[in-house]
Amino acid sequence: MAVSGRQYGSAMTDSVEMAAGMRAALNDRNEAWRFLTRFAAEWRAPVGVGNGHDPAVLDDTEARLGVRLPAALREIYGLLGRRDDLLRNQNPLLRPEQLYLSKGAMVYQTENQGAAEWGILLDDITAQDPPTAYRPSLADASAERWEPWTARLSVAVLDLVMSETVEYDRDGLMDATDLIDKQGLAEFEPLPALLPDHLGSAWYLGQGVLLHVLDEAWLTARGQNPEALDSVRVVMAGDWING
Count the Cβ atoms, other than its own, within 10 Å of residue 122. 13
The CATH class that applies to domain 160-235 reads alpha beta
- Cα(28)–Cα(35) distance, integer angstroms: 11
Backbone dihedral region of 219: left (phi > 0), alpha (psi from -120 to 50 degrees) or beta? beta
Query: What is the amino acid identity at position 71?
Result: A
Task: Count CA atoms closer than 13 A to 242's CA, side-chain side.
Answer: 19
- Cα(47)–Cα(39) distance, integer angstroms: 10
Backbone dihedral region of 96: left (phi > 0), alpha (psi from -120 to 50 degrees) or beta? alpha
pLDDT of residue 15: 87
How confident is the model over 50-75, as pLDDT tens digits?
Answer: 999 999 999 999 999 999 999 999 99
pLDDT of residue 12: 58
Q: Is 10 exposed, middle or buried (0-12, 13-18, 19+ CB in 10 A)?
A: exposed
pLDDT of residue 11: 55
Give me the residue spans of the domains in the chain.
160-235
How confident is the model over 152-175, as pLDDT tens digits?
Answer: 999 999 999 999 999 999 999 999
Backbone dihedral region of 220: left (phi > 0), alpha (psi from -120 to 50 degrees) or beta? beta
DSSP string, 64-105: HHTSPPPHHHHHHHHHHTT-HHHH-SSSPBPPGGG-EEETTE
pLDDT of 213 over the 90 cut? yes
pLDDT of 139 over the 90 cut? no
- Cα(135)–Cα(141) distance, integer angstroms: 11
